[in-house]
Amino acid sequence: MLPLAPIAMQPGVRPAPVNIPGPLSNNSPITTGVIQGGTIMPASPVALTPPPANLQMARKSRPWRTYGRIVGLVVLLLLFEQSFVSGWILALDGEAFYGSICILISIPLFLITAAIRRPRVVLLERAIPHTNGQLLHPIASHSGTLQTPTPTIMQRHIFRDDSVLDVPSSMASWIVFAATIIVSTGLWVMLYLGDPIIQALSAILLIPVIIIGFSIPVMAWWSHSTKRIGLPTKQRDAESWLIAGMLSGLPAIFVNSWLFPMIVILIHPDISVVGLENLTVVISAPVGEEICKAIAIGFFAAKIKSPRHGFQIGFTVGLGFAILENLMYIGGSGGSPIVILIRGIGSIPGHAFWTGLSGSAIGWYLMKNRADVMHMAARMGHQISHPESDKSIDWKLVDSDGSVVRDNSSSRELGVQIDSSGYQIWTPSQNIITKKPWISLPLPKSIPVGLVLAISGHALWNGISIFVISFAEGIGFSAVAQLFLSLGTLAVMIGTLLIIGSGLLHGVRQAPDGREIDEYQSQLADLTK
């Protein structure tokens, strides 16, 4: 993307002497090169400079490529976490040799993951109109020459790719999700009713069903939340939050698999296996997992300016945890359509909303703390600097032939837009959601309250299902009656969760986004000059 005039670029062509007819004067706009008789050699490329703060980059939209990379990262991180945690558990149980082997296996998995996540560096070369500029410039990135119709100066910047989040739309993801459930149902019917050859073929075809089933609903909720929250989100930042949620499962697995069972057995040595499993699901999982996810949010404190930012990061961290857990459950069920459905519309948003509560509470705390620190500094006589102003960005998106594809004056729609050329553009707006909500829930302002709400929601989700099954067995319900009772209970739970989640998303839209503190900072800066 170039911010100003279209240019003509000749990639792959080495800088060549350019014959300039007529006399040359020292005031000519193209005398910067080396003069050899009647020819001019372009000067060396200009030195690198930091990019301007209001620079916005765009790139070709490839949402399904992003989806594929996320799926690969999930598989690698699951193998890493299982190997790493298993190694430590084996070592603690006295199996040091086998534990060491598991830990050694985890190292290359982690290195491959880190290599995939390495920062993408972009070299940007810009031609900016200037009266004292030139008409001819060397282009280092293409080993070619740039000729402009008017005098221009060149600027060269190197920076990390900061393009906006590019994932499949929620509509496309839900369509794929529905198709996956239909295909899974058909394959399961053939798996149980077909002959051995049909059964073997169905088992093989269930592998891509498992891959899509555990991952595509996360993309749907990710895209939906990004649009509803209404905050511009960089691709690299969003992926970092998602991966942090995956990695938060590492200590959670250790707690659920080893630490909590050891504590329970020490307190109650005669506890049954079923009783221990139920306690782990109802107590250890909600407490341990929500604390681990909240700690993961804390690593991004520098990015959290407000409760809206905190909720967004918490929601994405929850999705990261859910996608890893999803792979374990759906893979373990063999791609069951019931499990895919329940996880996709229940467990995944549950994890996201619960962690979003913790994130929003952290956001309230950090925003208030930032205001208190500035106020205290002003009272002590320290000068307060102005925050970076959100200047309007003047840009033009040019195609490879130099023609203007789109500019900011033509962007009228809201949110992340994909134009006809396939480029993604974020158009900031505070009014993406214009429909009046029928329910809006306030966000917690205290970190302990937010964490307690997250743990309580998680515990209720896990505990109700166990209670209903135990209750049905206790009063002698048949297997069919137990099944219908469980499905009915799950339907009510999912419906309640989605209603609460919708209210929370509307509440996020009403929460501060940090601009209030920026304005407060500006006022203090004026007072302390």
Is the four-CA dihedral 119, 164, 227, 342 of positive or negative sign? negative
**From residue 255, how far is each of 263, 280, 489 by CA, in Å?**
10, 9, 29
Q: What is the mean pLDDT of residues 449-464?
A: 94
Give the tens place of pLDDT for each residue, 482-519.
888 888 999 999 999 999 999 999 889 888 888 777 77
Question: What is the structure's pLDDT at 398?
Answer: 44
**From residue 492, how far is each of 78, 466, 486 by CA, in Å?**
31, 15, 10
Give the tens place of pLDDT for each residue, 132-191.
888 888 887 667 788 888 899 888 888 777 778 888 999 999 999 999 999 999 999 998
Contact in structure between 288 and 493 (CB atoms under 8 Å): no
Q: What is the mean pLDDT of residues 310-338?
A: 94
Q: What is d(CA 323, CA 417) in angstroms, rounded to the nearest whole number?
A: 26
pTM above 0.75, yes or no: yes
Q: What share of the chain is helix, strand, coil (3-state, %, to 5)?
A: 60, 15, 30
Give the tens place of pLDDT for each residue, 69-115.
999 999 999 999 989 989 988 988 888 899 999 999 999 999 998 88
Tell me what the pLDDT averaged over the chain comes to: 80
Question: What is the structure's pLDDT at 426?
Answer: 41
More confident residue, 28 or 216: 216
Residues 6+ apart with CB under 8 A from 385: 521, 525
- Count of H helices and E strands in the chain? 15, 10
- Point out the least confidently predicted range of 8-22, 173-187, 388-402, 502-516: 8-22
Q: In which element (H, E) is residue 131 found? A: strand 121-139
Q: What is the mean pLDDT of residues 355-363?
A: 96
Q: What is the mean pLDDT of residues 397-410?
A: 46
Question: What is the structure's pLDDT at 231?
Answer: 82
Question: What is the structure's pLDDT at 26?
Answer: 38
227: number of Cβ within 10 Å: 16
- DSSP code, position 150: E
Question: What is the structure's pLDDT at 36?
Answer: 44
Q: Select, from the ranges 3-12, 92-101, 472-481, the one with the highest average predicted confidence (pLDDT).
A: 92-101
Q: What is the mean pLDDT of residues 459-467?
A: 91
Q: What angle do CA 180, 239, 368 make, to 5 degrees?
A: 125
Question: What is the structure's pLDDT at 361?
Answer: 96
Question: What is the structure's pLDDT at 209?
Answer: 95
**From residue 238, how far is each of 66, 232, 468 by CA, in Å?**
11, 10, 38
Whether 34 shows a pLDDT value over 80: the answer reads: no
Give the tens place of pLDDT for each residue, 209-240.
999 999 999 999 999 998 888 887 888 899 99
Pick from 347, 304, 325: nearest CA to 447: 304
Q: What is d(CA 417, CA 314) in angstroms, rounded to the nearest whole number?
A: 24
- Per-residue pLDDT band at 336 (split at 50, 70, 90): very high
Question: Could you tell me the strand order of the sheet in which 144-160 lies?
Answer: 8-10, 144-160, 121-139
| Two tokens, residue 47 | 């030195």
